[in-house]
Structure 1
Amino acid sequence: MVGSPLRAHSERGAHNGWCRKGKVLRSWHSGWQRNHRTAQRNGVAVAGSSPAGGGTFGWVTAFLLLGWAYSARPVQAKRSSVRCAVVVFGLGAASYAAGTSAAGHGWTATGVVFGCVMTAWMALVGSVAKDLGDADGDAAGGRRTVAVVHGLAAARALTVTCAALVGLAGTAAAARWAPLALAGTVPVAVGALWVIARVVRDARREGVARGQRRGAYRAFMVTQYAANLLVLIALGAR
C-alpha cells in the first residue's frame, strides 16, 4: 500500500507523457500530409505546364505505343523486316527525343546528329542483323524477314551495306556539324567494321551454327552500348 501513491503518480506522469508525444506525432503527421499533398499538386502542375514535362510525356507515350506495335497484334512489326525497321526507327527517335525533352535544354547539333545516327544504327543495322541467327525459326513461325523471304545471302548483303552507310555517313555528319558527337559516331564506324567482318566471315563458312550467326548482332549491341556511354562521358567532361 505504501507504493500505491507513488505508482499512481508514476502512471499519471507516463500517461501525460504519452499524450504529449501522441499530440506531437499527430501534429507532425498532419503537417507531413499537407506538405506531401502540396508537393504532389505542384509536381503535377509543373509537369503539365512546362514544355519539358508535356513533351516528355508525349514521347514516352509514343514509345510505349510503338513498343506495343512491335510485338502485339495486329501490327506485330517484329514479324517483318520492313515493319520492324520502321517501328525501331520510331522507338529510337522517341527515346532520344524524350531524353532531350526531360533535360529541358532543347535540341543541339550534337543531340540531333548523334540521335539520328543511333536511330539509323538500330533501324537499318540491328533490325536486319538480329534475323541472321534466327532464319530457320522465323521461317517455321511464318515470319517475313529479309533472311526468310530473300535468303541469308541477301540479308548479309543488306547488313553489310547498311552498316557501312551508317558508319561513314554518321562520322561525316558529326565532323561537319557536331564535332562533339564524334565521341559516339567514331565508335559506330568502328563497330560497323566489326559487324561487316563478322558477317563476311560467317558467309565464307559452311554450316555456320546459330550462335555464330548471331555474332554480327552481338557486335551491333556492344557498339550501341559503347557509343552511348562514350557520348555521356564526353558530355559530362565538357
Structure 2
Amino acid sequence: MKSPRIAIPEPTSADPEYNQRAWPQYAHAVEASGGIAVKVPLSSSPAEVARLAASCEGVLLPGSPADVNPQKYGEEPVSNCAAADPAREAVDELLLQDASNLRKPLLGICYGFQSLNVWRGGALVQDLQTPVNHRPGRTVREAHTVQIGEGSRLRALLHSGPELTVNSSHHQAVKTVGDGLIPAAVSAKDGVIEAAEGKGEEFILGIQWHPERFFDEDEASHRLFQAFIHAAAGWELRPIRESLAE
C-alpha cells in the first residue's frame, strides 16, 4: 500500500516564525506514521488549493494563533478574541469541502478542530473561563486530563481507558457541536469539549490538544496519527454515481 498524501495548510498567514516552528511538527508526525506531508500555502489561489487537495488522500487542519471569525457562528467578537485569519479560513473551507465531498479522512487539531466545527454549523466559546488552565503553553506536556467517551472511535483507536492526560494551548473551545459530529472527550474537571468525531464510518476527528508536539515521546499520539494515516492509506475515490445514490 502506497504512502498517503496528507494536505496540511500553513497554520497562519500573519506569523512566518510560528509556521516555521509549528508546521514541521505536523509533517514529522505524519511522515513518521507512514504518510507524506503536503504543504498548502495560504497564498495559494483556490485553483491551486483544489489541485493540491486532489492529489491527497487525507486532510490535517493544524492549530493557529488566530481565532475563527465569530460572525461565522452568529456572534460578535469579545474583547479577548484574537484576530481572525481570512486566508487560513478560506483554505480550510476549500479543504473541508474537498474532504466532505470525497469522504477523505480528516483530522483537526486545536484551531483545526474549531474550524471544522464552525464549518459544520457549530459554535465556539470565545474565551474560556473555568477552573482548568487550558493554555499553559507548548512546553507543558501534561496539562489536564480528559474523559474519553465509552464506545467512541477515539477511545478505540487510542486503546485507552476512560481518561487521558493531554497538553493544552487554547483559550477557545467547542460550545455546540456541528452537524454530523458527536462529542468524544471532555475535560475531566470542567466538562469542556476536548474532542468530537463523525457519526458515520469515515475518519473525521477533531481534538483540542496537540499530539504532534510530543509525538516522539507519547504512545497515545503515535496511535492517533497511525490511525489517521491508516485510514488515509485505505481511502479510495468512490464513483460519483455511488455517492449520489446514498
**TM-score between the two structures when normalised by the length of structure 2:** 0.25
Q: Could you say which structure has the higher strand fraction?
A: 2
Whichever of the two has the greater Rg, that structure is: 1
Q: Could you say which structure has the higher helix fraction?
A: 1
**TM-score between the two structures when normalised by the length of structure 1:** 0.26
